């Protein structure tokens, strides 16, 4: 096993990886930008080195400096976390060529799976179901037209170098195809420096279900079941859970088998995720793969008891998988709420500031992965994901009840967060039934316009008085204003009710 590992990341994921290393007796090296000097990951690591100014391009993406720190500190391996360099082919190559170990898949697998048509072809050839469409890039308008006719409208144009929803175009009829192909290609060129595009049949309101895999260097590959990730907003996941309310034991085995096949076909090693779209008839289709430890990995850890970060370290150091497929057992249900520094009352605009008071929930079945502390500064330089709150229960209902309890305990002041929004989702009837898909938030929660008219001035006065009152209470450390259900509500919603307005929201 490694003696010392450098973590090329920040925030909650750097903290998560440092914790795995500490439990395994591995020394840790943190890196930090100028504004992260006092960050939690810096405090928890054994050593920490500055890598540049606040903008990520000059610090967490400063390749030469990170390699320099790895060498100077005598780290043997680099864990990239997620984001930044995690799925960057050039980074993996550089780490390998410097004689360091990249804690993740081999460079060739990163390259293959990063090319969406090459990945589709690999899957098709090995029998993994894919959405109908092309396994080659679109060469001309005529080519595009014949493919679209073949799979049938609506179709979705995607970027070969893309992923995560950027540069996609839905086309509902033939007359729109030509201009959509042009637009998608030029968007792909500016976003990914790669103008190549391809076409898939467009599935309306699919679910997003992904399978966690682990593969060692000896060809042993297992899956750890699924994560349901359909609750998202603008391609940013918001809530994840395991198991998925639509996946039963048969479907889990079929999807798991497909994911293991996908891993083997692409020469994959280490922890990875195979994403699938699931249609209303519960057919599943390969979507793309993620060659990293994912944000939502803890829901899998909570239902399987497997520590994925530790397994990554074991695999990268050349050890055999600690588990066989039959060792993997699933118990209970886990839900994750991603706490973003965003204001749900204000179009989810990013919120910044200093966290001036901070109270974290705990107790039975609760896990918090966060980089927050009193005095932490939330800036616009990095991802707005500031904390992940997880709840485990014997059943999905118990996990949801625990999540509501924990959300109502969580206090973060100084920045706006999505905590209250999550409470709304936990109480949504469709969510409770497991009746969810990738357009759930848009359909159930998009804020309505403020009421028109004459009431506005009175309304604003009431809100001003009310927020002053709330401020006063917070400062005096009095009880927060409670709703009928016992949970703290948004002052806007309460003020609206006082004004006799029915609702701002659906
Ligand atoms: C799709 C799709 C429907 N049909 N492909 C969005 C992100 C990118 N990774 C792929 N995405 C989609 N691909 C076909 N053929 C719908 C989406 C999609 C989506 C997928 C997963 C999670 C959330 C989503 C939200 C909107 C659209």
What is the rounded average pLDDT of the residues 52-59? 98
User: 484 falls in which pLDDT band (50, 70, 90)?
Assistant: very low
Q: What are phi and psi of 480, to 5 degrees?
A: -70, 160
205 lines ligand 1 (CB under 6 A): no
What pLDDT, on a 0 to 100 scale, did the predictor assign at position 463? 74
**Which atom of ligand 1 is closest in space to residue 201's alpha carbon?**
15
What pLDDT, on a 0 to 100 scale, did the predictor assign at position 501? 45
Using the mean position of ligand 1's atoms as its centre, give its distance from the Cα of residue 249 in Å. Answer: 25
What pLDDT, on a 0 to 100 scale, did the predictor assign at position 28? 98
What pLDDT, on a 0 to 100 scale, did the predictor assign at position 196? 95
166 lines ligand 1 (CB under 6 A): no
C-alpha angle 362-363-367 in degrees, rounded to nearest 5: 50
pLDDT at 500 over 50: no
202 lines ligand 1 (CB under 6 A): yes
pLDDT at 374 over 60: yes
Catalytic residues: 292
Pocket test for ligand 1, best of 230, 240, 287 (most atoms within 8 A of CB): 287
User: 491 falls in which pLDDT band (50, 70, 90)?
Assistant: low
What pLDDT, on a 0 to 100 scale, did the predictor assign at position 69? 98
What pLDDT, on a 0 to 100 scale, did the predictor assign at position 493? 53
Weakest-pLDDT range from 115-119, 151-155, 216-220, 471-475:
471-475
| Closest protein CA for atom 24 of ligand 1 | 438
Please, which residues have CB within 8 angstroms of residue 11's CB and are 6 or more apart in sequence? 39, 41, 371, 382, 383, 385, 386
**Which atom of ligand 1 is closest in space to residue 204's alpha carbon?**
3
What confidence tens digit (pLDDT) does each residue in 188-242 have?
A: 998 888 999 999 999 999 999 999 999 999 999 999 999 999 999 999 999 999 9
d(CA 253, CA 271): 18
Helices of type H across 350-428: 396-409, 419-426
pTM listed for this prediction: 0.88
Using the mean position of ligand 1's atoms as its centre, give its distance from the Cα of residue 35 in Å. Answer: 35
Handedness of CA 235, 239, 244, 245 (dihedral sign): negative
């Amino acid at each position: 096993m490694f003696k010392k590992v450098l973590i090329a990341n920040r925030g909650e994921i750097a903290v998560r990886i440092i914790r795995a290393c500490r439990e395994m007796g591995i020394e840790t090296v943190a890196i930090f930008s100028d504004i992260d000097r006092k960050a939690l990951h810096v405090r928890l690591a054994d050593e920490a080195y500055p890598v540049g100014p606040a903008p990520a391009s000059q610090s967490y993406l400063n390749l030469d400096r990170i390699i320099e720190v790895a060498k100077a500190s005598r780290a043997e391996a680099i864990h990239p976390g997620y984001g930044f360099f995690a799925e960057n082919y050039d980074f993996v190559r550089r780490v390998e060529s410097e004689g360091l170990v990249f804690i993740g898949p081999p460079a060739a697998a990163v390259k293959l799976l990063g090319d969406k048509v090459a990945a589709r072809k690999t899957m098709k050839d090995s029998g993994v179901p894919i959405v109908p469409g092309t396994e080659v890039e679109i060469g001309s308008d005529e080519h595009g037209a014949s493919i679209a006719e073949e799979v049938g409208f609506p179709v979705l144009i995607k970027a070969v170098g893309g992923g995560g929803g950027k540069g996609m175009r839905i086309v509902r009829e033939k007359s729109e195809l030509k201009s959509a192909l042009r637009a998608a290609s030029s968007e792909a060129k500016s976003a990914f420096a790669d103008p190549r595009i391809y076409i898939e049949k467009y599935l309306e309101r699919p679910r997003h279900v992904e399978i966690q895999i682990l593969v060692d260097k000896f060809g042993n590959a297992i899956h750890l079941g699924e994560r349901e990730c359909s609750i998202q907003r603008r391609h940013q996941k918001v809530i994840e859970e395991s198991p998925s309310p639509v996946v039963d034991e048969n479907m889990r085995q079929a999807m798991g088998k497909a994911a293991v096949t996908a891993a083997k076909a692409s020469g994959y090693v280490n922890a990875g995720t195979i994403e699938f779209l699931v249609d209303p008839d519960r057919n599943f289709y390969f979507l793309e793969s993620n060659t990293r430890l994912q944000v939502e990995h803890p829901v899998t850890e909570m239902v399987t008891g497997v520590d994925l970060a530790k397994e990554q370290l074991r695999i990268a150091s050349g050890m055999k998988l600690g588990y066989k497929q039959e060792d993997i057992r699933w118990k209970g249900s886990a839900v994750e709420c991603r706490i973003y520094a965003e204001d749900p009352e204000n179009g989810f605009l990013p919120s910044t500031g200093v966290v001036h008071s901070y109270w974290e929930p705990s107790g039975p079945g609760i896990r918090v992965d966060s980089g927050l502390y009193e005095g932490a500064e939330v800036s616009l330089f990095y991802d707005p994901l500031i904390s992940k709150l997880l709840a485990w229960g014997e059943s999905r209902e118990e996990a949801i009840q625990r999540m509501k309890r924990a959300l109502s305990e969580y206090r973060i002041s100084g920045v706006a967060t999505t905590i209250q929004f999550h409470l709304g989702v936990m109480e949504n009837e469709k969510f409770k039934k497991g009746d969810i898909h990738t357009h759930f938030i848009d359909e159930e929660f998009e804020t309505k316009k403020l009421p028109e008219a004459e009431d506005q001035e009175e309304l604003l006065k009431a809100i001003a008085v009310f927020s002053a009152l709330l401020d006063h209470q917070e400062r005096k450390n009095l009880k927060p204003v409670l709703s009928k259900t016992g949970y703290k509500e948004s002052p806007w919603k309460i003020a609206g009710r006082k004004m006799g307005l029915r609702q701002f929201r659906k």
